[in-house]
A = this chain, B = another copy of it.
Amino acid sequence: MNNPAVLEQLISALRCLPGVGPKSSTRMAYHLLQRDREGAQKLAASLQQALDKLAHCDYCNNFSEHSACSLCQDSQRDKSILCVVEMPTDLMMLENTRSYQGQYFVLMGKLSPMDGIGPKDIHLDTLLKRAQDPAIHEVIVATNFTSEGEATAHYIGQMLKSRGIQVSRIARGLPMGGEIEYVDSGTLSTALLERKAVT
């Protein structure tokens, strides 16, 4: 091996990125050092800043620079309804429909026993506390219609209903196996409007 140690360290560090193996981490390192040092500098700084400044909103669990994110601090929004999504991207997709004005809770994942991801890993204890806020009158579960998303919805439904909390699931307006991130606004909007109470 004739690469300098700091180059080997960079190649190995790039492998923390999902989907990046030894060949592509090597190609990435050469590209950055050879053709885009400015981009590399920006990336190093952005990573450090994100690590230093980003935590989770105490209310919705989304990434936030403050203990309450701007959405949770928005007094214009409906405080009586809470929509549960898997990822921040899903929240943004729902916001883009402009058909929902309530609160959110971002699980930052989904139940996935195969990957060792259980109820604690998706912050269901925090969700339960949040859902028990007397201001909340309904929880809409908007996890994906994949098998893991459905299992997560079922688990959350049972957990909340057993505490007497009203829970609904967005309508299956999405195609089977569909993911919220990839669906058009109209379909998503219908799915929200046609939500059904969990029985």
CB distance from A24 to the nearest CB of B (A): 7
Q: B29 touching A50 by the CB < 8 A rule?
A: yes
Q: Which of B26, B29, B40, B51 is in CB contact (< 8 Å) with A41?
A: B51
Q: Which of B10, B16, B62 is in CB contact (< 8 Å) with A39?
A: B16
- CB contacts under 8 Å to B, within A1-49, are 1-7, 9-10, 12-14, 16-19, 24, 26-34, 36-37, 39-49
A95's nearest neighbour on chain B, judged by CB, is: B2
CA distance A91 to B89 in the complex (A): 43
Q: Collect the chain B residues with CB atoms within 8 Å of residue A1's CB.
A: 92
CB distance from A65 to the nearest CB of B (A): 5
Q: B92 touching A3 by the CB < 8 A rule?
A: yes
* Number of A positions contacting B (CB below 8 A): 58
15 contacts between A and B (CB under 8 A): A2-B62, A2-B88, A2-B91, A2-B95, A4-B53, A6-B49, A7-B50, A9-B46, A13-B47, A17-B17, A17-B28, A29-B50, A32-B47, A40-B51, A47-B47
Number of copies of this protein chain within its complex: 2
Q: Collect the chain B residues with CB atoms within 8 Å of residue A24's CB.
A: 19
Give the B-binding residues of A (Cβ under 8 A).
Answer: 1-7, 9-10, 12-14, 16-19, 24, 26-34, 36-37, 39-51, 53-54, 62-65, 69-71, 87-89, 91-92, 95, 108-109
User: Would A3 and B47 be within 8 Å (CB), given that A34-B108, A42-B13 are in contact?
Assistant: no
A19's nearest neighbour on chain B, judged by CB, is: B24
Scoring A19, A29, A46, A65 by chain B CB atoms within 10 A of each residue's CB, the highest score goes to: A46
CB distance from A57 to the nearest CB of B (A): 9
Q: Collect the chain B residues with CB atoms within 8 Å of residue A18's CB.
A: 27-28, 31
A62's nearest neighbour on chain B, judged by CB, is: B2
CA distance A24 to B24 in the complex (A): 14
CB distance from A91 to the nearest CB of B (A): 6
